[in-house]
Structure 1
Amino acid sequence: MKTVKLSLGGLLLATTAMVAPGVALAQTAPTTQTPAQQAEPQVDQGAELGEVVVLGRYIPQPNRESPEVAAFLTAEDLERTGDADAAGALARVTGLSVVEGRFIYVRGLGERYSSALLNGSPLPSPEPLQRVVPLDLFPSEILSGLTVQKTYSVAYPGEFGGGVVDLQTIDTPAEPFFSMQASVSGNTETSGKDALIYFGSRTDFTSFDDGTRDVPGPLQLGFATGQRISAGNFSASQLRQMGQSLVNAPLRLLQRETTPANFGLRFTGGTSTETSFGTLGGVFVASYDNSWTGRNGIRQSGRLDAGQFVTANDYAFQSNQNDLTLNFLGALSLTSDTSTLKWTNLYVRNVTKEARSEAGFDDASGGQRRTDNTEWFVRQLYSTQLTGEHSFGATGEWEFDWRAGYALTSRDAPYETRFGYGQNVAGDWIHDIETNAISFSELDDDIVSAGADLHYTLPLSDAREAVFSVGVAYSDNNRESEQRTLRFIAPNGLSADQLESRVDYLFSDINIGPYLQLEEITGTNGAAAFDGQLKTMAAYAQVAAEVIPLVNLNLGVRFEQGEQTVTPRDLFGGTTGFLPTEIDENYVLPAGTITWNFAEDMQLRFGASKTIGRPQFRELAPQQYTDVESDRTFIGNPYLVDTEILNLDARWEWYFARDQFVTAGVFYKDLDKPIESSVIDQGSSISQTFLNAPNATIMGAEIEAKKYFEFGSDMDFIANKRWLVQANYTWSDSEVNVKDGDTVITQNSLGVAQPASFYVIDGSRLQGQSEHVANVQLGWEDDTARSQATLIANYVSERTSARGRPGEPDLIQEPGISLDFVFRKDFDYAGREYGFAVQLRNLLGEEFLEYQEQGGNRVIINGYDLGTSGSVSLTARF
């Protein structure tokens, strides 16, 4: 091979001159390097080079190893921002925004177009309306980091639109440790305020009730018969017994009480030891949180009146929500020179206890109405996972990785109660016996998954190599959902005294039987229960190679077979009237990324791929569901089909110093038949359903920068600190495209195609997409004082939350600006190390706002003040 004698500096100068004159202004890389960088071979000036090669030795290790456009959050990042869970932490990533505090929108695409993995394995969701697991279930203390990959690689599942979020749990430590943390927090809209409550059970504070909410025995026997609870199927004495068995005052009566402060406890520990088989280690995290959220706001609806959009319903509401969370993570690992085995177990229990009341003008009745609700929602997630990493061969050129996991989520909602009121001539609230309801619902969702990857590294020269990879993946996701709803009727009417009585007096045992009769109003024809299954099998092949010096190519193809079914079940043994919905598709999904590392600290990436998006189970099920967050009814559409997506990306990256960089990129996506939510008339009520819009495109640009500053000064406050400036901004623009002749099929049309223009406006914004998303972090680190402070700002512009009914404007959300401040300080006391932290959230007092607007008239669909939150925590380390 012909050798070239060229200094490294000369080589860089020649390379950058070929790229662009401006690149020659790049700063010289600092001498301070990470251990990974220091381990890389150094080239002396004047050395004989067998091949002209420059590796990106100043590019951070994760970014260098990943051939895709990706963002990485480390444990240090999670600590700096102080976010309590994965959802909050991901809101700081370029192009990401958080919806409802739980779901991640990547590049303006809704949560349906993103997937979440735990250590590479898929997760089920306990949410009725989503198949994507809500990321607020994962506390930040169990995470060692998060990866958000925005360009597709074939090793990941084919359901990919905005990105994939891979949550990595903490590993076993090299040194034993144990820490305890206690925290106290409050909110200006909640803490110390007079708010609605209901008693519940004596053990609610533990997140487990004492059996009060169990389905009563007589009612269980009635359900077990397979017959509707009604006078036609049961005797009067049986109905009286079932009605009297329902818990009354503790679960029905709304009261007022001063809301206490929030508090939390966390315990973390780990150790490792050497054995004859390798290093055996273990780590655990356990936590408990008890928090309150109070809301006082407005909920309205609009309608067209003589061509004008006007306010219809106009309600004020009060809500008080107690969230109780238990988390436990336990992991074991065994590591040797050539193998690593890990067993990770995660349990999360999140309980929401809510009391809510809304009152105001009801357009349908033309008078004042009030509705009171009490609710108890139990969301649980259990995941167990085995993984292995093995290397073999003379030089470790072969690598074999495998994983197997089982995850189960559930959502149990017993005793969802709803009681309606009207007004008498004197203006007093009286019971509207026709609108009371008590529901019991259950949802179970599990995934069995497995995968294996084989990698072979082939040297191409002394400095270049190619990695060939093949892999297989399997997952089987099953969901069962069921809801039973009952109410009391008064066949012979009620007296004025009874109608004006307190709710627990009216539904006391003395009135059940003589005046009130229990009946079931559970929907038939599959409207109350369904089974869903999504089974995928996939295989992929990929090659990643430095095809020529400085140019890396990652090229692969994935074959994925997916079979999704949703089968409505009639709880009373009848036919549903709906055939099982089945989507059975095979896809060939290619993906390629080329990276040009044209300087030690710069590189360009170009990527293209084809991916898919699938409807979620609830979206396919013709079953009504009321979302407690919005008090809105949703109904599925069994005629939905998959979305096919073309993805194009380009990004420039400049890592001019350790942990400091500037990146800029552009992206484009073309979505064939994207799924969107639409508001429709469902009988006499208004509901949201789902449809496939004909086509949509989204394009955008991203820029991100991170820079540290140090200043010389006689003042220790300035001289001892390293100052941080970090910012990112994403601009995106989307359009839903409707042409003449385009059609859609809605749930109401029963399979008959209808003009798409009747439901979707050509040129309208893609649902969930915000034009502007920006994050800024300003802070400092002081190693001498062992302190850190960060001011964090997040801005998300308005986005469409749902399509309006034909002729009406879309529903718009305005997330606005969130300003947070986090301060941390470590100190020693009595020979022990402690950590103190203060967090202030939403300092600007931004509100939640969702509205429709047309002709200068704004209808507030949902609006309330979020308040400013503050927390103080103390951590003891052992």
Structure 2
Amino acid sequence: MYATILFVLATFSATTLLAQNPGKIVGKVIDQKTSETLIGATVSIEGTTKGAATDVDGRYSLSGIAPGRYTILVRYIGYQAKSISDIEVKAGSATPLDVTLAPSATTALSEVVIKATYRQESVNALYAIQKNSVSISDGISSELIRKSPDRNTSDVLKRVSGTTIQDNKFVVVRGLSDRYNSASLDGAPLPSTEPNRKAFSFDIVPSSLIDNIIISKTASPDLPGDFAGGNVQILTKDIPDNNFLTVGIGYSYNTQSTFKDFRSGFRSASDYFAFDDGSRKLVSNFPTTNEVLNGQVTGSRAIQSIQSLNNDFSIYKSKALPGQNYQVTLGNVAEIGKNKNRFGTTVSLTYRNTQTIVPDLQQQFDSYDYHSEQNKFSTNIGALANFAYSFGKNKITFKNLYNRILDDQFTYRTGSNTGSVSSDNHFYAFDMLEKGLFKSTLEGEHALGKKTSKIKWNLGFSNIVNDQPDQKKVNYKQNNTGNPNEPYVAAISSTLGKENARLFSHLNENIYSGKIDYNLPVSLFTQSTLKIGVSSQYRDRTFDARFLGVVFNEETAGKLNYDVAQLLQRPIQTLFGPNLIKSGVFDLDELANLTDRYTANSLTNAGYAMLDSKMGKKVRVVYGLRVEKFDLDLVTQDPNQPKVKLNNTDFLPSVNFTYALTPKANFRASYFRSVARPEFRELAPFAYYDYEMLASVQGNAFLKRTVIDNADLRYEFYPAAGQIFSISGFYKKFQNAIEPLIEDENSSTTISYFNSKSAYVYGVELEARKALDFIDDGAFFKNSTAYVNASFTKSKVTNPIDGVPRLEKTRALVGQSPYVINAGLTHTELDNKLSFNILFNRLGKRIFYAGGTRFSSVYEMPRNVLDFQVGYKVLKSKGEIKLGGSDLLNAKYNFQYQLDGKPYTFSGTGSTFKRYTPGSNYSLSFNYTF
């Protein structure tokens, strides 16, 4: 009650204060033909002495303006002046207005002033930005993000043309899997967050902190050269337009999880804050691997060591709570000194917690017929602190992002395994994973001289941690003797096996990066800009894993007259009881391999030169060369394993051609060469048994880098601001493509990596976004916009010819979908206070793992995804209530073995690698901005 009263009083006070405050006009001034920012342009309010100059970003801010309607005048040397009228300024808020200026057509002394209204100029600016991008790219703005139910970046990326998400977090562009895409955050490269693949987990970046996302599908020399699908550039917010404090709270309901019986293992209070309290980890004085293997851990020391482990195998039951989402964001901007230099701060804290249940995950292939229940407790905390200072023709930014995820999953699996020893199984897995990312970027931008040349530099540091402090697995077997009363016996013997080993792993990686770019306008053709730059990135990773477990000491058990068979029938809660451990009936053992620990580092140095040339009024060509030198070293603790070394120098040319067919249409063509380098994990010989995949994952020290030649054509038409129709064609040829492969020649299955000799991909992309006012000019259709983007691709890979017969000689590229469809409909009412958004996604079946000798390829089958969101602004539009629904159709995820387009059925079971339903999600949230 008191909290509600305080909230109402605070809201009333803030609203009253804002009503007394003046407003401001803010925006950016850009070149109409190139969208380049214009530094030092003057912006003034007609009839007053109030004015400002644009900074190094081309931004201006006119503050301290009384509420009302105004006209501004924008001037810049060599450009036509422009007068923009009907600009409404409201109390306590910022009116955004980006302005485009056209170069002067004459050198006459008399000034010609172009006139426009606020609405017309807003349209002009949006046109210019859409139409004048250097490369073929697609993106999404913070405004569109706010209109979707998306809570993190991976959800947002699903909306971008030709882009899909795998495993709810890894980006796939143009059907190319995550390893063929790269990402940057605030201008610095993003590292791989995964211990077993080359991928960045985009679900760790909250969508509300994003200013915009751009996916470049073709390269220019100033972009990193290690991508073939797309380069994802995420920009977070720095200098806000005005001061604000936004508080958000949200809850979600999952149809098959919330308020249902939720089962889990041990949990500490700190799990709710994404940190393990240390009770799962090995104690500091725990015996070393050598001590365990050399028989030095016996008797009382063995008992003491086993007691130091977390031996709580109890299964706790509760009701799954609704998902929770809280966020506080503070924005502040201050004008300093007579020149009104700007200092901006954006700080945000986020918290998310979800408890989800997959009631029946089916795996029916080879000798397996399994059904699993998975319960996942997930907590995400995040913090963003961005600071920026803009002074004169300079700008310094300092951006920091911290995010941490704790996923604690309990799996209970039942079913039969008709392998070498036929059995029925009750399998338990307690699996907690901690992932953390800290990223800090210092960036400077400085305009020099009269020609507005510009220097931009960037220094970055990232730290990634990925810990599994105690993955516990226990399997109970009932041998298929034909007797239904045969007891289930824990699979613990005098030797340690993968079914009852406990995994303790730790990954730490530091990344140091830096780059500097220099832009200089030059007198070449109609208008040209020379851009040169250098960059460097150093990565340093350490990884270690220990597979520990207890085994029976049969000699001690005999002396104590224990019936081992009876002990192994104990329920899992008492299987490792304190009294039993104290008796000495258990010994400590370890599955050790010197390849389980490795260190790795890589150094990438790059330099580039490019020209951005306007040749006449309609032709623009951006061309140049990027050179990258890459060195990698990886070494394990196994002296018999050779050191992994890579040393490559790559020359990466690119050219982007744009022809302006009309003021609203472009034709584009491009060619570029790029590379895809092996990730540390793909090279490391470390073997990790994945109990979910029922296979081991192992690297290949002999991988080579991939070289890709890319060609694109595109026609794009902009019928109105915010609307587009485009059609693109692309072709990619791969040399030594890197792909995951099922190695199944032996009785146990291993997923490894290999270089295919050659591969190609070609396809077509379509995108359309159009207001529905062509149906009827009434208000309903004017406020409605439909969009669709679709891609259709085909690829072909030849499987390696290495003396091992393969079921498939040729197939599609791993991760490549033959088609991807995104569609949506948005509508606003009540002067934009009420908004509706419906979204649809579908992708064609794609290969998850490439097949081997006994197993065909695993395909992820198509599924339809339907989402919606309704938003309503309240409290003078300072607050907004949102009702959203995602995955309304709740279609099954189905991963299936297929050969020649048909299910590849194993004898006695089926073709299902895994199949499950995620449940539909409904969310209700409220945000208020003070």
| TM-score, normalisation: structure 1 | 0.87
Deviation at residue 540 of structure 1 after TM alignment? 0.2
Could you tell me which residue of structure 2 aligns to residue 597 of structure 1? Answer: 660
Could you tell me which residue of structure 1 aligns to residue 15 of structure 2? Answer: none
> 2:744 touches 2:750 (CA, 8 Å); kept in 1?
yes
Deviation at residue 477 of structure 1 after TM alignment? 1.1
Deviation at residue 42 of structure 1 after TM alignment? 8.9
- 1:45-60 matches, cutoff 5 A: 60=127
- Ranges in structure 1 where 5+ consecutive residues have no aligned partner: 1-30, 49-55, 303-310, 744-753
Aligned counterparts of 1:213 and 1:58: Cα–Cα separation in 2: 56
Aligned counterparts of 1:675 and 1:238: Cα–Cα separation in 2: 47
> 1:341 touches 1:388 (CA, 8 Å); kept in 2?
yes
Is it true that 1:655 corresponds to 2:707 in the alignment? no
Aligned AA (1:431)? A
Is it true that 1:678 corresponds to 2:741 in the alignment? yes
Is it true that 1:436 corresponds to 2:500 in the alignment? yes
3-state SS of 1:500 partner: coil
Could you tell me which residue of structure 2 aligns to residue 20 of structure 1? Answer: none
Of 518, 525, 537, the match for 1:475: 537
> 1:468 touches 1:544 (CA, 8 Å); kept in 2?
yes
Aligned AA (1:418)? K
> 2:771 touches 2:782 (CA, 8 Å); kept in 1?
no
Aligned counterparts of 2:86 and 2:206: Cα–Cα separation in 1: 33
Aligned AA (2:606)? A
> 2:718 touches 2:724 (CA, 8 Å); kept in 1?
yes
Is it true that 1:288 corresponds to 2:351 in the alignment? yes
- 1:604-683 matches, cutoff 5 A: 604-627=667-690, 630-681=693-744
Distance 1:720 1:268, change over 3 A: farther
Distance 1:600 1:713, change over 3 A: closer
> 1:230 touches 1:519 (CA, 8 Å); kept in 2?
no
Could you tell me which residue of structure 1 aligns to residue 880 of structure 2? Answer: 835
Of 155, 169, 173, the match for 2:240: 173
Deviation at residue 711 of structure 1 after TM alignment? 8.4
> 1:62 touches 1:72 (CA, 8 Å); kept in 2?
no
- 1:505-520 matches, cutoff 5 A: 505-512=574-581, 514-520=583-589
Is it true that 1:736 corresponds to 2:797 in the alignment? yes
Deviation at residue 139 of structure 1 after TM alignment? 0.6
Deviation at residue 792 of structure 1 after TM alignment? 0.2
- 1:230-629 matches, cutoff 5 A: 230=293, 232-249=295-312, 252-276=313-337, 278-300=341-363, 302=365, 311-364=366-419, 365-396=421-452, 398-423=453-478, 425=483, 426-434=485-493, 435-459=499-523, 464-492=526-554, 494-512=563-581, 514-526=583-595, 528-570=596-638, 575=639, 577-627=640-690
Is it true that 1:809 corresponds to 2:868 in the alignment? no
> 1:70 touches 1:148 (CA, 8 Å); kept in 2?
yes
TM-superposition CA deviations, 1:248-276 (whole Å, max 9, x none): 22xx2223322111111100111111123
Aligned counterparts of 2:331 and 2:676: Cα–Cα separation in 1: 40
Aligned counterparts of 2:100 and 2:232: Cα–Cα separation in 1: 30
- Between 1:171-180 and 1:639-648, the stretch displaced more is 171-180
Aligned counterparts of 1:62 and 1:121: Cα–Cα separation in 2: 23
> 2:744 touches 2:853 (CA, 8 Å); kept in 1?
no
Is it true that 1:850 corresponds to 2:895 in the alignment? yes
TM-superposition CA deviations, 1:495-550 (whole Å, max 9, x none): 34322212232212221253533333233231x11112221000000001012331
Aligned AA (1:445)? E
> 2:124 touches 2:721 (CA, 8 Å); kept in 1?
no
- Between 1:240-249 and 1:847-856, the stretch displaced more is 847-856
> 2:399 touches 2:440 (CA, 8 Å); kept in 1?
yes
3-state SS of 1:506 partner: coil
Aligned AA (2:324)? F
Could you tell me which residue of structure 1 aligns to residue 263 of structure 2? Answer: 196
TM-superposition CA deviations, 1:203-236 (whole Å, max 9, x none): 32222233322322442xx12xx51424722232
Deviation at residue 565 of structure 1 after TM alignment? 2.1
> 2:515 touches 2:535 (CA, 8 Å); kept in 1?
yes
TM-superposition CA deviations, 1:543-579 (whole Å, max 9, x none): 0101233100100101100012221124xxxx3x211
Is it true that 1:90 corresponds to 2:157 in the alignment? yes
Aligned AA (2:267)? G
Aligned AA (2:539)? N
Deviation at residue 66 of structure 1 after TM alignment? 2.1
3-state SS of 2:147 partner: helix
> 1:344 touches 1:384 (CA, 8 Å); kept in 2?
yes
Could you tell me which residue of structure 1 aligns to residue 26 of structure 2? Answer: none
TM-superposition CA deviations, 1:92-150 (whole Å, max 9, x none): 11111100011111111111110010111012223112333211111101110101000
Distance 1:844 1:870, change over 3 A: same
Compute the RMSD of aligned alpha carbons: 2.7
TM-superposition CA deviations, 1:607-647 (whole Å, max 9, x none): 00111011111111111124466454211111110100000
Aligned counterparts of 1:723 and 1:193: Cα–Cα separation in 2: 39
The number of equivalent residue pairs is 801
Distance 1:389 1:631, change over 3 A: farther
- Ranges in structure 2 where 5+ consecutive residues have no aligned partner: 1-84, 88-95, 111-122, 494-498, 558-562
3-state SS of 1:586 partner: strand
| TM-score, normalisation: structure 2 | 0.82
> 1:552 touches 1:594 (CA, 8 Å); kept in 2?
yes
Distance 1:445 1:301, change over 3 A: farther
Could you tell me which residue of structure 1 aligns to residue 6 of structure 2? Answer: none
- Between 1:293-302 and 1:234-243, the stretch displaced more is 293-302
Could you tell me which residue of structure 1 aligns to residue 50 of structure 2? Answer: none
Aligned AA (1:453)? D
> 2:520 touches 2:531 (CA, 8 Å); kept in 1?
yes
Could you tell me which residue of structure 1 aligns to residue 67 of structure 2? Answer: none
Aligned counterparts of 1:827 and 1:124: Cα–Cα separation in 2: 41
Distance 1:173 1:640, change over 3 A: same
3-state SS of 1:87 partner: helix
Aligned counterparts of 1:301 and 1:273: Cα–Cα separation in 2: 62
- Between 1:546-555 and 1:703-712, the stretch displaced more is 703-712
Could you tell me which residue of structure 2 aligns to residue 13 of structure 1? Answer: none
- 1:71-86 matches, cutoff 5 A: 71-86=138-153
Deviation at residue 294 of structure 1 after TM alignment? 0.9
Aligned counterparts of 1:559 and 1:520: Cα–Cα separation in 2: 50
Aligned counterparts of 1:190 and 1:300: Cα–Cα separation in 2: 21
Deviation at residue 795 of structure 1 after TM alignment? 0.6
> 1:847 touches 1:867 (CA, 8 Å); kept in 2?
no
Could you tell me which residue of structure 2 aligns to residue 305 of structure 1? Answer: none
Aligned counterparts of 1:41 and 1:227: Cα–Cα separation in 2: 74
Aligned counterparts of 2:770 and 2:630: Cα–Cα separation in 1: 45
> 1:595 touches 1:606 (CA, 8 Å); kept in 2?
yes
Deviation at residue 67 of structure 1 after TM alignment? 1.4
> 1:709 touches 1:724 (CA, 8 Å); kept in 2?
yes
> 1:40 touches 1:57 (CA, 8 Å); kept in 2?
no
Aligned counterparts of 1:705 and 1:301: Cα–Cα separation in 2: 41
> 1:36 touches 1:61 (CA, 8 Å); kept in 2?
no
> 1:58 touches 1:656 (CA, 8 Å); kept in 2?
no
